[in-house]
Each structure stands twice: as C-alpha cells, then as structure tokens.
Copies of this chain bind each other. A is one copy, B any other.
Amino acid sequence: MKAVGFKTSLPIASPNSFIDFEIEKPTPKGHELLVKINAIAVNPVDYKIRQNSAKDTELAEPKIIGWDACGIIEAIGNEVSLFKVGDEVYYAGDITKAGCNAEYQVIDERIVGKKPKSLSNEAAAAMPLATLTAWEILFDRIRISTEKDKGKTLLIIAGAGGVGSIAIQLAKKIAGLKVIATASRPESIEWCKHMGADVVVNHKNLTEEVRNAGLQYVDFIVDFVDANAYWDEMVELIKPQGHIASITGSATPIALNKLKTKSASFSWEFMYTRSSFQTEDMIEQHHILNKVADLIDEGVLVHTLTQTLDGLSAETLKLAHEQLESGTTIGKLAIKL
C-alpha cells in the first residue's frame, strides 16, 4: 500500500521533509480493525512530532504519522465486537502506533466511532482528534457537569483553532456555559462567534480584555496554545476554587504555588493517554465519538472543516503542514484520498 512518512526531522520546505513510499498492508489482530482510509486531517501534534522525533538520526524505516481519519472497515481481528466489515468509521488513533498517513491502517476498535452520516468523508476526518480532546478536557478533566455547572463561565484561549472550535460548541451547546474565546483577526473572531462564543476577546492584554467584558473572574479556563505564556494571566483570571486545563505541555517548571490562595485546580489533557496506557476506560473514546456523531447528525454540533487538499502524497502533506505551521489556520484542514 501507499504511505507517506519521514526518516529525518527536517524543515517542511526541505525536499525530504516527507517521502512517498510503499509498505505492506497491515493485518488486524485481536481488537483491531483494518480500515481503508478515504480522508485524513492534520493537527499541530503532527508537525511537532515530525519536527522532533528524528532530529539527530535517520530512521531505518519511514515513520508514518497522522491521527485523524475516516474510512471503511475492510477486515477485523478475532476479538472485535463493536464493528463489522463495511462499517464507515472515524477515529483519531494511538500515538504509540503508526498513524493514518497511508491507504490503510489497523486501529483498536475501542478508540473508533461510527462516522457521522450527515458529513462528507473529509468533514468527518476533521473531527476526531479535536473532538476527543475538547470533550475530555471539559468533561473528564475539569469534570464540568452538564447539570450543576450551567451558566458558569469558561475562557477558551485560542478559540478558532481545531480544538477551540469544538470546545466552544461543546461548552455552549452541551454544557450551557457562557463562553469567552480569544481570537484576534476579523475572520477568526467571526469564526468563534459562528461556533457559538458569547464573547470574543483579544489574547493580547487578556486580563484587561476579560475585565472589560464585565468579568472579574471566570470559573474555568482551557488553554490550547501555551500554558507557560498565559500562566500569570490564567492565575489572575481564574475564580477562587476554579479549574484551569491545558493541552500544550510546558517546557519549563511552572509557578504552581500562585494558584494556592485560590484553592484552584489544574489539569493536563492529552488525547493519547487512554490508548497509550490502555486504561480500563479506553472504550470511552468509542462512546464519545459515537455520541458526537449523533449530535452532528441531529444538527446540534457542526463540523469545523475549512480547507480540503486532494490526494495522499508527500506533496499534499507538505502543503498541509506548511499551512498548520503558520499558526493562522481557522478550523481544520483535511486531505481527500
């Protein structure tokens, strides 16, 4: 089968930042599904891994990345019980295994959902990673209650990106929160409002902007861009007993003590935790993706696809990464196989 990968971490403009190659089609075992992929999407985690995982070395075999796909099940392992051959599915995947930048992929059924019927393959492929991340950060990490927390306030730092776009929708439409999202360009401000944000503020002078919007504190903050850079403003804006969460990681130690007088909480969300550790509740990702498929088909949630490229190749993946690395992408970019 055809696949795209890299053997060395190179700047995206380098001729070999991505290479086309052929590899044997994998065989599904146990809980695995063999999926014939018909669309994929890209995420910031992709270029971070491309830039860092083969820095001072050349890999023996090209590394296949990519963790957002839509496809049709072509074969199943002997323990599969949630799906059958021919089912249309969408999923993010498992960072400890080969990704979806290929014609076929094997994937554990417990992290796969049924494709939303009302979406194109490309729009469906654009959903899983951002959806799982946004769902987990709000409902599994912060543990926002769709009953008790209605009307509380959530600040979303980086509202117009892939994860931000879904987080706005989930917070507003499922949890009933008041959503304040950050965006700075006219088109990203417009997009955040379209996703359901009640208030859009500029990330520069964040504290002042939020205060000007009439809020001394917010109950919850989710950060999708840089936990270190926004730490002091998050500390200032979080309500006593509030909860901050981030997906970005932190290159340096953090002045956690600043949250103490407020008895505040902090959580990381890493979408790959459940599959990496094979947690007992790993099947939650299957349930989340199915729930979200229903919510999309019922018209409650909308897809976030804004750009589509054609054909799986080193060339289209270079274009896709180049776009993501610019940091200006609104919503999601997909590739149609």
B263 near A136 with CB under 8 A, answer yes
How many A residues have CB within 8 A of the partner chain?
A: 35
19 A-B interface contacts by CB (under 8 A): A136-B263, A140-B241, A140-B263, A143-B143, A240-B276, A240-B279, A249-B260, A250-B257, A250-B260, A254-B254, A256-B256, A259-B268, A261-B272, A261-B276, A262-B270, A263-B267, A263-B270, A263-B273, A266-B267
B249 near A257 with CB under 8 A, answer yes
How far, in Å, is A257 (CB) from chain B's closest CB?
4
Q: Which residues of chain B are within 8 angstroms of A272 by Cβ–Cβ distance?
A: 261
Q: How far is the CA of A325 from the CA of B240 in the complex (A)?
A: 30
How far, in Å, is A203 (CB) from chain B's closest CB?
21
Please give the residue numbers on chain A whose beta carbons come within 8 Å of chain B beta carbons, in ascending order: 136, 140-141, 143, 240-241, 245, 249-257, 259-270, 272-274, 276-277, 279, 281
Q: Which residues of chain B are within 8 angstroms of A277 by Cβ–Cβ distance?
A: 240, 262
Q: How far is the CA of A257 from the CA of B249 in the complex (A)?
A: 6
Q: Which residues of chain B are within 8 angstroms of A276 by Cβ–Cβ distance?
A: 240, 261
Q: How far is the CA of A136 from the CA of B263 in the complex (A)?
A: 10
How far, in Å, is A120 (CB) from chain B's closest CB?
31
Which residue of B143, B256, B268 contacts A260 across the interface (Cβ within 8 Å)? B268
Q: How far is the CA of A241 from the CA of B279 in the complex (A)?
A: 9
Which residue of B136, B250, B265, B269 contacts A141 across the interface (Cβ within 8 Å)? B265
Q: Which residues of chain B are within 8 angstroms of A266 by Cβ–Cβ distance?
A: 256, 265-267
Q: Which residues of chain B are within 8 angstroms of A254 by Cβ–Cβ distance?
A: 253-257
In addition to A240-B277, A240-B279, A263-B267, 20 A-B residue pairs with Cβ atoms within 8 Å of each other are A136-B263, A140-B263, A240-B274, A241-B274, A245-B265, A249-B257, A250-B260, A252-B253, A253-B254, A256-B268, A261-B270, A261-B272, A261-B273, A261-B276, A262-B270, A263-B268, A263-B269, A263-B270, A265-B267, A266-B266
Of the candidates A241, A257, A270, A276, the one having the most CB atoms from chain B within 10 angstroms of its own CB is: A241
Query: Which 6 A-B pairs give the minimum distances between C-beta atoms?
Result: A253-B253, A265-B267, A263-B273, A240-B277, A260-B268, A254-B256
Q: Which residue of B lies closest to A247 (CB)?
A: B260
Q: How far is the CA of A270 from the CA of B297 in the complex (A)?
A: 45
Q: Which residues of chain B are within 8 angstroms of A267 by Cβ–Cβ distance?
A: 263-266
Q: Which residue of B lies closest to A267 (CB)?
A: B265
Q: How far is the CA of A164 from the CA of B172 in the complex (A)?
A: 40
Of the candidates A140, A266, A268, A281, the one having the most CB atoms from chain B within 10 angstroms of its own CB is: A268
Known pairs A143-B143, A262-B277, A263-B141; A255 contacts B257 (CB<8 A):
no
Q: Which residue of B lies closest to A254 (CB)?
A: B256
Q: How far is the CA of A111 from the CA of B121 in the complex (A)?
A: 57
Q: Which residues of chain B are within 8 angstroms of A253 by Cβ–Cβ distance?
A: 252-257
Which residue of B251, B257, B268 contacts A264 across the interface (Cβ within 8 Å)? B268
Q: Which residue of B lies closest to A265 (CB)?
A: B267
B260 near A270 with CB under 8 A, answer yes
A273 near B143 with CB under 8 A, answer no
A257 near B251 with CB under 8 A, answer yes
Q: Which residue of B lies closest to A269 (CB)?
A: B263
Q: Which residues of chain B are within 8 angstroms of A273 by Cβ–Cβ distance?
A: 240-241, 261-263
